[in-house]
Structure 1
Amino acid sequence: MPLVFDENRAEVAVRAVMLGMPMRQAARKWNIDRSYIRRRLNGIPTRKETNQHLQAVPINLERRLANWAIGQARLGFAPSIVKLKIIAERMAQASGSPRSLGSQWHTRFLSRNEAVKSARSLPLSYSRVNGATAVNINRFFDRLEAPELAAITPDRFFNIDEMGMAQGVGADQFVITDATLRQTFKKAVEKGEWITVLECISAEGEALPPLLIWKGTHVQSQWFPDRNRGLFEDWRFSCLPNGWTSNEIALKWLHHLFLPHVRCRFGNIWVVLVCDGHDSHTNDDFLWACLSNKVWLLFYEPHCSHVQPLDVGVFGLLKKKLKNELNLTPAGRLGIKPSKKEMVLAYKVAREAVLGVKTITNAWATAGI
């Protein structure tokens, strides 16, 4: 039988000889040239080891990249070859490597790292992912059993989600009126601009400072009353033309709120961020920042994000309390749109009343995590 070189078989043969098996027997059993075994025993490096310095991404970083790809695939987001290459390029730049990745880099990467492979991603029909079915939810809970999460304690689990609210919140629809009338009318509160709030809670019951996204171009100081200056020092505010979140704002939240908090509290160890599959959580910059700072992203199945802890146990209570607080303001009593000053103060009161340890831990329990 002609000798066929296979790196894995060769390593097994070398280990067998080191454990006492005769070299001739090991070479015959694993079909490996004896000269190769002899060179390895004499400390002569393999061609692969000799050429490691020529790799654009050092071998230790490649292993880290492979482990990250495997871990994120288990947690609900298998990176595409394109995204893998982008992250690899950033790894190479961060390590100071002057080499660029060629068009076939991923092929060589897969051959060097047999724990990963490329597979065709099959799209699911909308009907299969529409709603929190038992099958979809079980997929999420299966991810909680992934080995990447086994050593991570509950206090290092976080959930981020966004809540939308209009700047005008209506009062109750029921009123007291003449019993002889069939219907009555009440002036509706003026519809206001859309505001998005990014909130993040830990499974331990902690709430990180929020990020409020206003509709506009720039955050203006007159939105906050002077007498309340200092109440929002740890909060973050941003603006977009539509008042929604974006990839850029999610990245700012990660760098300016989440990462400083977890690195200050836990040091350089892995944490878990439970989130939905919105593009702001799966774009290249967000993925790279999470990998660089030891953050696993744990994803829900599509159209199942409404069963996150924030959604099932926090946002409903927050909106109800906010509505009550706005109805107590002069604008709420007059049925006009509240100012941004009134809005942010009412949200602060609602948030302090709702976001306690008991409410947050109950939310995680309700979500089943």
Structure 2
Amino acid sequence: MSEYLETNLQLAIRDVEAGDSQRKAAARWGVPRTSLRNRIAGRKTRQQEAETRQRLSKVQEARLTKWILIQDSIGFPPSHTKVRDIVGFLLCEEGDLDPIGRRWMEGFLRRNPEVRTLQGKRIDFLRVNGATADRVKEFFALKRIPDIQKIPPRHRWNIDEAGIMEGIGDNSLVLGSSRKNWAAQIQPPARVIGLR
């Protein structure tokens, strides 16, 4: 028999409880009779059965998802490695010392569709926090200087668009909201050590 929806199975169960035969209810809603019989007997869904084999509980995964979304919203989306490290730490705290499986992240993302892998794009800390009204006015005042006006547009560059960056400059894969195509990664201010 072809695939069926959980709602169809629930409707078939309702019909059986209302007095229809299992055969009739299964045919009406397009669900296998064995599945209907097993569910009426109290067997769990495949998804419920799989939950018992998951490393993290449903509540723990929901909290991890919420943390990922918060980190993404404040400009610090976690990498796959960071999330795996956190999960490993949580499991160690519970006495589970087995390593996380290679495909754990795939399963986590499948079970939590509000999170997905995104391309992280680094944005300088000062660029995020430095756009004050005074600085914007200063910028437009500079554009009125005759020597700057002489520069043809083809020779003008936005340094961020040109890809020139000091410090940590690699864009990487991170986790964030599935409603976006990329995630901003705020780069902390560069620390320059001066030698005397």
Give the TM-score, by structure 2 length. Answer: 0.50
Which structure has more relative contact order (CA 8 Å, sep 6+)? It is 2
